[in-house]
Structure 1
Amino acid sequence: MAHIPVLLQPTIEWLNLQPGEKFVDGTINRGGHARKLCQFLGPKGLLIGIDTDGEAIVQATVNLKDCVCPVKLIRGNFRNFNNLLDQIGVEKIDAVLLDLGFSSNQMDDSGCGFSFQRNEPLMMTLSNDDTLGTLVTAEEAVNDWAEESLADIIYGFGEEHFSRRIAKAIVEARAIKPIKTTSELVAIIEQAVPIWYRKRKLHPATKTFQALRIAVNDELGAIQSALPAIWQRLNPGGRLAVISFHSLEARIVKDWMREKKTAGEGVLLTKKAVKPDREEELANPRSRSAQLRVIKKVI
């Protein structure tokens, strides 16, 4: 499935990029948002793209080759925002976009085990090595972590009410043989939950897979590390736009932006989260849970 940039038009409007500005797309992926946004920067502007996914960087290089502004792409995690900007000699910036969702390509075509709809190795990481700070894979998590830890993660990061039953089933299954594929994990989850739960519109493995992905990639920790670093680098008048997809990351972003507003350091440009309209939801069902928040730095 081709990746469709979410909330593209509202992002363009709220970021309001100007000629000559330096803009960072902290989750460049294949350049879906950036390809549209770079046209506002002009030849004296600068587009900086960051992504942990090496394949995404390769594709973005191709997709952004005709940008009117200079482009610098870096493989890395936005949690290391300061270090990444130091690498390319950039001190201050004018605008940043973080799209916290995994792309359709990463979910469906990466072969890394993000989707419960495909039978793949149970990785849930975008790197086979540890150069980007990935300490464990989902396979290691389900086979090595204690039952209580698994239950807490599945409940805390997935908001899964049957977390205890699922964790218990995982531990019982791995005692017989290691869990190595997504299909094996899905089967365990389906057997652990009530029959009525399996018949709902939402697949019973959805929340567990989300929880493991968040835990393995330390997604919430990355957001918490990145926000203050980005703020430090923004010029006065600079804008930060964040697109979130689930309540945990949305809460972190909302609370942090409110703190900046209360401290008199920022102005909330979006008084409430901007969500996709009906037309976008129909065209791109994965956009349904997306929320855009934008803050402007004043000091």
Structure 2
Amino acid sequence: MKYLSLAPGAVVLDGTVGGGGHAESILERTAPNGILIGLDVDQDALNASRRRLKVHGDRVHLIQTSFRKLDRALDEVGIHRLDAVLLDLGVSSHQLDSGQRGFRFSESESEATPLDMRMNPEQGQTAADLLNRASATELQGWFQNYGELPGSRRLAKAITESRESSPLKTNADLLRLIREAGIGRGRHHHPATLVFQALRIAVNDELGALEEGLEAARTRLKPGGRLVVLSYHSLEDRIVKHTFRRAAKGCVCPPKQPICTCGKMPSLRVLTRRPETPDALEIESNPRARSVRLRVAESIEEVRPS
């Protein structure tokens, strides 16, 4: 919370409100009249937040939408500028703990769950849909680009051959193919971790949403407003790092050009030269935070939304 630099009366957007844990802390620190706008694509998560935050009354606005559409959400509640934006990326504990969402995998056949992986279970294609319809080239690209998976081509081939006789339906079906294709032998973590990450990113267009959400958040911050992002793998962190650096640089003219002609000015000041990481005590209290990388930037000029 310290990175958000909150004060009483602040207007804050939590773009991934989940069960409302961060939101509750924000509301406490911005009391008595601070405003919290909470976004999430998952209606179950919003219902949990609504119950948890009910005591704060009309200080809370909860909207079912992606943070990539935060412009529309803010217009909906009549708010134009923000003192802080928080984006806690990745899968929430609520989604991981929900057995039928398909975000987890288990070697036990008795714990097999549908290959869904949608953040919003009411919209879009499931992981099973993608696995059973995508070409081998598409599958290989997802596994390489989103999972950085050795053996991506081999696994894509195994999937397209297997589905001709038996479509993939559960996480157990996918785990069987990963084993049979010999993916990840000798690696220090389960090879399915990278496969499931790649599929989840593809199903939810997570990287596209992040790029759009960061740009929208940047233009909505008041001067001095903070943008805090928690990412959980290198692909997310890379996008955040490069977005912050571009906004801090401003000018996009060729390096050899002696005079700036683009007219672009810096709009952010990067406050974390390197990402902040959890210490041993934080990891012990919350093992899921082991891979988190936190980056912070501050708005340095008022940029009007397009």
Q: CA–CA distance in 1 between the matches of 2:269 and 2:57?
A: 30
Q: SS of the residue aligned with 2:167?
A: coil
Matches within 5 A, 1:71-110: 71-110=60-99
Q: How far apart in 2 are the matches of 1:128 and 1:279?
A: 35
Corresponding residue number in structure 1 for 2:292: 290
CA distance in 1, matches of 2:177, 2:163: 10
| Alignment-derived partner of residue 272 in structure 2 | 270
4+ runs of 1 displaced by more than 2 Å? Answer: 65-69, 126-130, 197-201
Cα contact 1:17–1:37 (8 A) shared by 2 = yes
Structure 2 vs 1, CA of residues 123 and 168 (structure 1 numbering), >3 Å: closer, same or farther?
Answer: same
Deviation at 1:23, TM superposition (A): 0.3
CA offset at residue 103 of structure 1? 1.4
Whether the 8 Å contact between 2:102 and 2:115 is mirrored in structure 1 is yes
Distance 2:174 2:143 in 1: 13
Contact 1:241/1:294 (8 A) holds in 2: yes
Query: 2:154 and 2:221 mapped to 1: Cα distance?
Result: 46
Match of 2:258 in 1: none
Structure ranking higher on relative contact order (CA contacts 8 Å, 6+ apart): 1
CA RMSD of superposed structures (Å): 1.5
* Separation (CA, whole Å) in 2 of partners of 1:271 and 1:19: 28
Give the alignment of 1:146-295 within 5 angstroms.
146-193=135-182, 197-198=184-185, 200-263=187-250, 264-295=266-297
Question: For 1:101 and 1:127, how far apart are their aligned partners in 2?
Answer: 13
Query: 1:110 & 1:52 partners in 2: Cα distance?
Result: 18
* Secondary structure of 2:176 counterpart: helix
* Paired position in structure 1 for 2:260: none
SS across alignment from 1:48: strand
**Displacement, 1:110?**
5.0
* Larger radius of gyration between Structure 1 and Structure 2: 2
Gaps in structure 2 of 5+ consecutive residues: 251-265, 302-306
Matched, 1:22 2:19: no
Matched, 1:126 2:135: no
1:88-120 per-position Cα deviation (integer Å, ceiling 9, x unaligned): 111111100000021122023151111122411
1:220 CA displacement: 0.2
Alpha-carbon distance, 1:69 to partner? 7.5
State the aligned residue count.
282
Contact 2:114 2:170 in 1 (8 A): yes
Quote the Cα distance in structure 2 between the aligned partners of 1:168 and 1:54. Answer: 36
SS of alignment partner, residue 163 of structure 2: helix
Residue 162 of structure 1, CA deviation: 1.1
Q: State how far apart, in whole Å, the 2-side matches of 1:115 and 1:108 are.
A: 8
- Distance in 2, Cα, partners of 1:189 & 1:226: 33
Query: In structure 2, what is the Cα distance between the partners aligned to 1:199 and 1:161?
Result: 12
Corresponding residue of 1:7: none
Query: How does the TM-score come out when normalised to structure 1?
Result: 0.91
CA contact (8 A) 1:38 1:69 kept: no
Percent identity of the aligned residues? 43
CA distance in 2, matches of 1:260, 1:128: 34
- Contact 1:39 1:68 (C-alpha < 8 Å) held by counterparts: no
Residues 39 and 69, structure 1, Cα contact 8 Å, conserved in 2:
no
CA distance in 2, matches of 1:111, 1:250: 28
The answer on whether the counterparts of 1:39 and 1:67 sit within 8 Å (CA) in structure 2 is no
Structure 2: how far apart are the matches of 1:38 and 1:31? 10
TM-score (norm 2): 0.89
Contact kept? 2:19, 2:94, Cα under 8 Å? no
The alignment partner of 2:87 has SS state of strand
